[in-house]
């Protein structure tokens, strides 16, 4: 607080004439913090920038409380303040671009993100010096922390860009229209009594289809689950690029085409990620089985990409174990309390071959890293996509090796 008081003493006399500028700076800082707290990617970079602007925010609030005015305007201080606001606006633009997947197209290489970060922090330090806000200028320890955060995010961002170039850019062609199978299915069942001239089959004559052996790479089980999960994830990345959150992810809302291609369905609750959030339904609403703990704790909490990732992890569990989450818990309040306290479903696979066990472990790791209690510790959709792609590639190799031996 001593540094803040010193800064205010130097600039306090002109505070009265700078109140409008202080308001602009404060509003911009609040927006930067909101953007960084909602970041889906490059969270380390966003965190260090949040620390920077929060320190400055304290100085601005102290400056605002000074009522004295100088007889003459301090032009140097006035110009410095305008420069400071300009730098804040640049930081806001920067964090907007790097924190969301739809902003990635602004960068062709990870090094450009690094260069922009260094330029902005240097300009920020200069603006702080010009305003005599010395407490907001990064010291050696802060710069070390920022360098580590930057290097960690840059490595990951480079992988994201590779994923975007190789896989996500082709999602439009792979996903086509997410609901293109819905109309086909509806058209096939226009008449419940007659289905394209087929005879009605009595339910007594129906038998359950043979279940695949999970140890056989070619007969379904985990390999099919991975392929379906991968295609669903591609669809969700497609939605993320369009800034859309589904809000109701579960197997019930995934339709399957005749070729077993999944199609994301039921967009009744879907919103743009910047749109009005949805709240948890009544106490009998089964949706709570897939909801993130932060949303269960406070229904009015904004539904974020991290909430969507948590729901996807529950869908992945539901997909592989073929049952509704927390089936033994009938009361919604029991589920809510269980999840809020950190409880999750049990992931237990049966005995299998070493190859299938390795696939199961990879799938389990994706689920566990996606339903973590802290939203910012959960995997990103692009990371999940990359991990599912690796599992799918492993299955293809196993399948080829199996065919060679036969």
Characterise 198 by phi-psi region: left (phi > 0), alpha (psi -120 to 50), beta (else): beta
The CA–CA distances, whole Å, from 156 to 5, 163, 385 equal 40, 11, 14
More confidently predicted of 153 and 104: 153
H or E element, residue 93: helix 75-99
- What class, spelled out in words, does domain 168-405 have in CATH? mainly alpha
For the ranges 166-175, 234-243, 341-350, the one whose mean pLDDT is highest? 341-350
Contacts of 12 (CB under 8 A, 6+ apart): 63, 66, 68
Asked if residues 212 and 220 have their Cβ atoms less than 8 Å apart, the reply is: yes
Which stretches does DSSP call E strand in 66-161? none
Q: Quick check: helix, strand or coil at residue 271?
A: strand
Model confidence band, residue 207 (pLDDT cutoffs 50, 70, 90): low
Q: What is the mean pLDDT of residues 304-326?
A: 95
> How does residue 206 score in pLDDT terms, banded at 50, 70 and 90?
low
Provide the 3-class DSSP secondary structure of residue 200: coil
Rounded distance between C-alpha atoms, residue 239 and residue 314, angstroms? 18
pTM of the model: 0.69
Q: pLDDT at residue 283 above 50?
A: no
The residues, ordered by sequence, that sit 6+ positions from 77 with a Cβ below 8 Å of its Cβ are: 11, 14, 18, 131
- Whether residue 60 contacts residue 26, with contact meaning beta carbons closer than 8 Å, is answered with yes
Q: What is the domain partition of the chain in residue ranges?
A: 2-166, 168-405
Q: How many helices (H) and strands (E) does the chain have?
A: 14, 4
Which range has the worst mean pLDDT, 20-24, 138-142, 378-382, 399-403? 399-403
Q: What is the pLDDT of residue 72?
A: 39
Q: pLDDT digit string (tens) for 39-61?
A: 888 888 899 899 889 888 877 87
At 182, the pLDDT band (50, 70, 90 cuts) reads: very low
Residues 6+ apart with CB under 8 A from 173: none
**Other C-beta atoms lying within 10 Å of the C-beta of residue 210:** 8
């Amino acid at each position: 607080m001593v540094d803040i008081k010193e800064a205010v003493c130097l600039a306090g006399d002109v505070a009265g004439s700078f109140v409008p500028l202080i308001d602009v700076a404060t509003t911009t800082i609040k927006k930067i913090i909101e953007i960084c707290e909602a970041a889906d990617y490059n969270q380390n970079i966003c965190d260090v920038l949040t620390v920077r602007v929060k320190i400055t925010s304290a100085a601005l609030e102290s400056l605002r409380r000074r009522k004295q005015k100088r007889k003459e305007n301090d032009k140097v201080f006035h110009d410095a303040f305008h420069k400071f606001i300009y730098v804040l606006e640049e930081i806001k633009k920067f964090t907007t671009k790097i924190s969301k997947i739809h902003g990635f197209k602004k960068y062709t290489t990870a090094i450009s993100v690094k260069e922009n970060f260094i330029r902005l922090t240097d300009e920020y330090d200069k603006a702080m010096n010009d305003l005599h806000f010395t407490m907001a200028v990064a010291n050696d320890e802060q710069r070390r922390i920022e360098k580590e955060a930057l290097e960690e995010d840059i490595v990951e961002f480079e992988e994201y860009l590779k994923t975007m170039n190789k896989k996500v850019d082709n999602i439009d062609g792979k996903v086509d229209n997410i609901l293109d199978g819905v109309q086909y299915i509806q058209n096939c069942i226009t008449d419940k009594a007659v289905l394209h001239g087929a005879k009605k089959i009595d339910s007594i004559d129906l038998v359950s289809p043979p279940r695949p052996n999970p140890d056989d790479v070619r007969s379904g089980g985990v390999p099919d689950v991975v392929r379906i999960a991968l295609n669903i994830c591609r669809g969700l990345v497609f939605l993320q690029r369009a800034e859309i959150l589904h809000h109701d992810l579960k197997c019930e809302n995934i339709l399957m085409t005749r070729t077993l291609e999944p199609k994301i369905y039921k967009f009744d609750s879907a919103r743009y990620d910047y749109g009005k959030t949805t709240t948890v339904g009544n106490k009998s609403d089964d949706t709570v089985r897939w909801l993130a703990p932060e949303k269960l704790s406070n229904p009015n909490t904004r539904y974020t990409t991290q909430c969507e990732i948590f729901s996807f992890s529950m869908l992945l569990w539901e997909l592989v174990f073929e049952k509704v989450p927390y089936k033994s818990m009938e009361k919604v309040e029991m589920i809510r309390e269980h999840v809020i306290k950190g409880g999750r479903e049990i992931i237990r696979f049966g005995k299998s071959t070493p190859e299938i066990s390795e696939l199961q472990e990879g799938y389990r790791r994706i689920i566990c890293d996606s339903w973590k209690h802290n939203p910012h510790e959960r995997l990103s959709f692009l990371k999940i996509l990359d991990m599912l792609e690796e599992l799918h590639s492993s299955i293809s190799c196993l399948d080829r090796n199996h065919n060679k031996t036969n």
